[in-house]
Structure 1
Amino acid sequence: MIIKKKLNVFPGYSVDDNKLNAIDGNTGEVISLLNQDKVYKYKKNEASDMTNAANSGLQNSNQKLTEEEIDAIGNVSKFITKEKASDIIKESIDTTNFDMTINDSSLSKDRINENYIWEIGFKDGDGKVDAKTGELLSFYFYNNKDGNENMSKSDAQKVAEQFLKKTAEEKFSQTKYEDNNNLKFKNISQDGNIYSFNFVRQVNGIDFDSNSLEVEIDKTTGKIIEYQNRWYDNVTFPDISQAITKEAAFNKINEYGDFGLEYNLTDNNKVSLVYNFRNLKGNYIINPISGVRIDSEGKTYKDNKLPEYCDISGHPCEKIVKELLENGYYISGEKFNPDSNITQINFLKYLYSPEQSSYSDDDFYEMLIDRGIIQKDEKNPESLLSNQDIAKIVVRYLGYDKVASHPEIFKNPFNDSIEYKYQGYAAICYSFGIMKGDNNGNFNGTSKVSNAESAQIIYNILKQNQSAK
């Protein structure tokens, strides 16, 4: 099954802290702050890791198709062959010193653009091509041999621009070069040998940061080693003719951001006095028409504060629930409802508290399915979970599903009988001290699990993970 994604493009005024810019307190000029984020250090012996990273980078919305899904497409003859796709990649770059032996290939579907993509893996890299139009979408190649050149950045930029005019002329004409100092997608430090050029899509004279053309060049060889074509083909951009001014937007953001003087690093050994938004964490976005703060999906922003439960005082679970809460694990709502049976969606969100808030419910489940925590046919958000249901989820979370799926190798550690297919899951949970059963040593596999019992289980999981470190 391929899940269709709805592309949501919305306008917004934002302060992006990845820009790393501020206003010099003395001159009033724009000044760049020191980027203290971690950067990826490229090493020759990490070439295969870089290839794997590239495979999961561009078009990460792609979903590889099974043979059955390919057959179901119908009229596959409308697609170019994988050999043709391979030739397109090879013809686009200087392949000298690259081993272009094909290791693997697959057909996938881009769930945003609704197009099909050939993904070709070579011994020294990989590339992607639109399976219908033949458009080159990306490639990444590494070279184990340093060259003797010392190409200047300006010459490298000319090479990048000539490549884009040849490869994606129409799209390139709709972009604007963004200097590396403000590169949003990544900040790369690769032994100082790589120039990275990013050209951001322009719509109504405004940056559309989600779309860009990026080219990377090894200055020691003068070769293009990476190309990324991030572009939404079928997208409608909202009208912004009634947008408030930048000054009005600034004032709205300043109500929260506290724009003022601060000391900040502008070089490794230099501290400068700058004007900056002192309270902003991450992006702060406002609707350009209403001036209301919105989130990353364009919806009205809701402050994600931790709950303060009003119904756990004196309950046996109080101490554990509060300790989990202090560590960012919680069930949303004013009440914890300790004695209510927990639903599938609430248990999974409780277990994945540190990251679940960044997903919609559908995307959250898709992530869980991708990680093998649940299977597609097991998705049932409002169902009430039993002990055996939770044991299976816990074991998958811990990464022991393959072992647990062989119940014949396990002995039932509980006093009551357990359905055979759950015996391995129950035994593993018991051995790790995560689920010990009731006071009589019974597992009670089909009994529903309360919110309070779920808190104890999740507490035991985290405790077990901590002791394993």
Structure 2
Amino acid sequence: MKKLLSLTLALVMALGLALPASAAEETADESLARITKSVKDTLDLDTEDYDDFWGERYEDGLTGVWDLYWSGLDTDLSVSALDDGTVISYRAGQPYTVSGSETFPTFPQGDAAAAARAADDFLDKVLTAGESVELGEPRGMDTLGGDSYRFSGMILLNGLPSPLSYSITVDAADNQVRSFSRDAAANVFLGDVPASAASVSRDRAAGLLTDTLAVKLEYVREADSSTAVLRYLPEDTHAFYVDAATGELLDMTELEEQMEGLGMGGSSSDNATAGESSDSGLSPAEQAGIAQMEGVRSSDALDQSLRAEAAYGLADYALSSAAYRLVEAAENGEEDQVLCVLSYMRPEEDGSRSRTITVDARTGAVLSVSSRAPWLEEGETPALSRAEAQTQAETFLAAFCGARWKDLVLYEDSPADTEDQRPYDTFTYVQQVNGIPFPENRYTVSIDSADGSVYRLDYNYDEDVTFASTAGIVGEAAALSAWAGTYDTVLAYRLVPRPLDGSHETEARLLELGLTHFYELRLTYALEREDWCPGIDAATGKPVVPEKQDTAITYTDLSGSGVKADVEKLARYGVGYDGGRFQPAKQLTQWDLVALLASLDGYRIDPETADESTRDAAYSAAYRMGALARGTRDEDSAVTRGQAVKCLLDCAGYGPAARLQGIYTCAYSDAADIPEADLGYAAIAQALGMAQGSYRGDQTATRGELASMLCRLLER
């Protein structure tokens, strides 16, 4: 019997918004009945076997959405649809399932082509006029235990890319769609989809867009190196689109700021520069021990040293806590560092101020400063102008940096936001070599706009960097041309903010919610690239191509091996040994067995070079799987074929059945030699194809034989 269990109009009730005109002409039950029938017709649903049904409605300010639920004895179904009947989500099956993560995995089995056809058939039902998708390669079946194909990507509008996306999951066992979700125009942007014909040529748009690009020459440290090379890097310019109908250059950074600024007000504290934790991670007894270490200064001495520096502005602050923390040396031979985090407070009528200073507890050298203070009230003028704050910053750094100061230049500064009224001004100075900045070596200082003290300090500086010569580098014009060449000019539908004028009912509702701008869809050109590019190599003038890390397991010693196909099949799913050699003929040890089984749990282990902690972790994984009993660790012991079968079948949950006596027979040529206690394991192994011909249970196994046994088990 069907039951209407509940009906809610959550956001409509909460915000007092009126239903759209079409819905206002209906009662709630009439609207639900209409949407339900529309959904059933669209999806060809047969709902006779469900016992319960209910619907809920909400609004997001743009459109109404109905959530429909069916439940039955064996399965549930949920569908979400817009007021006009557009299906935006679908989920079939039990809403809550018990995870099968503890179950021994299998190789994924399914038909990708059949799954794609099922996805296409479903999408044909739910996509509206002018919408299409290109499925592409599915995900989900590239890992052990995969049971479904997941397609996702962009919804094309009139054949062109758009900001709308979709996701659909197809069960690999029966090719039934289990879930679907999508973005819909009605709750993403205002207005209609523009025509797909562009009035502006791609070449003209490309010229307008590339004119907005700029590059800058900087030193960049090479990965895992002390050498800095020269690169032309993109300037942090605004992002632009070109309107394909008018040729207008759209500054998307400015337009997005109009969207992001909505509803933003001042804050009573500086969340961007939260102070460091005063929790030292050490007990009082440990802190007392550190305080007695040779060379470590007391908190009183450190406090006095800081107060003697007027730049830190501590005259009216009280020390609230001091916590010591031991930082172990990163490399052997270096001395462990003891830090002291001193926290200060200054209560005021408009809210308390705090300042946290971290110092080297032996030398007293200041390592960082962070603060909290009330933000300025709207219209309030700071005591220090920006120019005065910069003078204070440079005076402080000249004394603080010593000889380094002569090589530092102003790199970027962050003015106090005129709307947010931050109580500080920020400046970043970086090392300059050969007249070229090296931003990795930098000092960032914020100056309190109330009294000129150091509000924030953060720095990084490595003296042991060598710098490439500037001789023979390409010029900026050539680098800029190369940088522009890394992009394609792509015609697509994109979201562009526009002012609301309240001319339509939806706009009026958005204005009631306090919005002044919202997105419309425009046909535009923009610069896009498929792969990430960090910049242009100044020595060659060519784009820098980051190395792609190959995470696949590959081997160099499988040529001519009879188990090559099985070992490589395991490797495709991340099961195997690290190090590039499988050694299929090597006699199997317990450690070899454990290392291979641990790869089922995500480990990548080279059995020949693994350290003790890696070995311990792998054995823990084997214990969890049930392959070994605790207390049986014997890494170098040889593993027989019979023992390998037992370990694998116990992992896969066949142990209780295999240990039943008197019910098994085998067709092995050496069946008479199999002990009664092992007969069940041998019989199941034969049924699964793990062993054929002769069992040879007492013969030492090889790594290759283990791989083949595991392959057959994962194929079950």
- TM normalised by structure 1 equals 0.51
In the TM superposition, residue 162 of structure 1 has moved relative to its aligned partner by 0.9
Relative to 1, partners in 2 of residues 1:163 and 1:216: Cα closer, same or farther, differing over 3 Å? closer
Q: 1:95 aligns with which of 314, 326, 332?
A: 314
The amino acid across from 1:138 in the alignment is S
Q: Secondary structure at the match of 1:11?
A: strand
The aligned residue for residue 197 of structure 1 is: 426
Q: 1:233 aligns with which of 438, 463, 470?
A: 463
The aligned residue for residue 231 of structure 2 is: 13
The amino acid across from 1:101 in the alignment is S
Q: Secondary structure at the match of 1:128?
A: strand
Relative to 1, partners in 2 of residues 1:195 and 1:253: Cα closer, same or farther, differing over 3 Å? same
Q: 1:419 aligns with which of 611, 625, 631?
A: 631
Relative to 1, partners in 2 of residues 1:96 and 1:15: Cα closer, same or farther, differing over 3 Å? same
Relative to 1, partners in 2 of residues 1:96 and 1:390: Cα closer, same or farther, differing over 3 Å? same
Distance 1:279 1:242 in 2: 28
The aligned residue for residue 121 of structure 1 is: 341
Could you tell which deviates more after superposition, 270-279 or 329-338? 329-338
Q: Secondary structure at the match of 2:356?
A: strand
Distance 2:525 2:628 in 1: 67
In the TM superposition, residue 394 of structure 1 has moved relative to its aligned partner by 9.5
Distance 1:196 1:203 in 2: 26
The aligned residue for residue 362 of structure 1 is: none
Q: Secondary structure at the match of 1:256?
A: coil
The aligned residue for residue 390 of structure 1 is: 618
Distance 1:257 1:350 in 2: 41
The amino acid across from 2:388 in the alignment is K
Q: What do the CA deviations read for 1:293-319 (whole angstroms, capped 9, x no partner)?
A: 557xxxxx323467598999985996x
In the TM superposition, residue 414 of structure 1 has moved relative to its aligned partner by 5.1
Distance 1:50 1:293 in 2: 38
Q: What do the CA deviations read for 1:330-383 (whole angstroms, capped 9, x no partner)?
A: 999999999995998997999489xxxxxxxxxxxxxxxxxxxx9xxxx98546
The aligned residue for residue 462 of structure 1 is: none
Relative to 1, partners in 2 of residues 1:136 and 1:142: Cα closer, same or farther, differing over 3 Å? same
Q: 2:274 aligns with which of 40, 50, 55?
A: 50
In the TM superposition, residue 161 of structure 1 has moved relative to its aligned partner by 3.4
**5 Å matches for 1:210-229?**
210-217=440-447, 224-229=454-459
Relative to 1, partners in 2 of residues 1:279 and 1:24: Cα closer, same or farther, differing over 3 Å? closer
More helix by share: 1
Q: 2:180 aligned with 1:180, yes or no?
A: no
The aligned residue for residue 440 of structure 1 is: 655
Q: 2:534 aligns with which of 275, 278, 284?
A: 284
Distance 2:497 2:707 in 1: 50
Q: What do the CA deviations read for 1:120-146 (whole angstroms, capped 9, x no partner)?
A: 223455323456765433211224x56
Q: 2:475 aligned with 1:258, yes or no?
A: no
Relative to 1, partners in 2 of residues 1:439 and 1:52: Cα closer, same or farther, differing over 3 Å? farther
Q: Which has the larger radius of gyration?
A: 2
The aligned residue for residue 249 of structure 1 is: 479
Q: 2:325 aligned with 1:106, yes or no?
A: yes
Q: 2:354 aligned with 1:142, yes or no?
A: no
Distance 2:553 2:603 in 1: 19
In the TM superposition, residue 210 of structure 1 has moved relative to its aligned partner by 1.3
Is 1:194–1:216's contact at 8 Å kept on the other side of the alignment? no
Distance 1:256 1:222 in 2: 45
In the TM superposition, residue 168 of structure 1 has moved relative to its aligned partner by 3.6
The amino acid across from 1:180 in the alignment is S
**5 Å matches for 1:54-65?**
none
Relative to 1, partners in 2 of residues 1:88 and 1:107: Cα closer, same or farther, differing over 3 Å? farther
Q: Secondary structure at the match of 1:87?
A: helix
The answer for unaligned runs of 5 or more in structure 1 is 57-64, 182-186, 296-300, 354-373, 396-411, 423-434, 460-469
Distance 2:274 2:538 in 1: 39
In the TM superposition, residue 279 of structure 1 has moved relative to its aligned partner by 1.0
Relative to 1, partners in 2 of residues 1:168 and 1:119: Cα closer, same or farther, differing over 3 Å? farther
In the TM superposition, residue 104 of structure 1 has moved relative to its aligned partner by 0.6
Q: Secondary structure at the match of 2:319?
A: coil
Q: What do the CA deviations read for 1:202-257 (whole angstroms, capped 9, x no partner)?
A: 22222222122222356578764311122223433222222122233234444433
The amino acid across from 2:426 in the alignment is F
Is 1:343–1:385's contact at 8 Å kept on the other side of the alignment? no
The amino acid across from 1:119 in the alignment is L
Relative to 1, partners in 2 of residues 1:11 and 1:23: Cα closer, same or farther, differing over 3 Å? farther
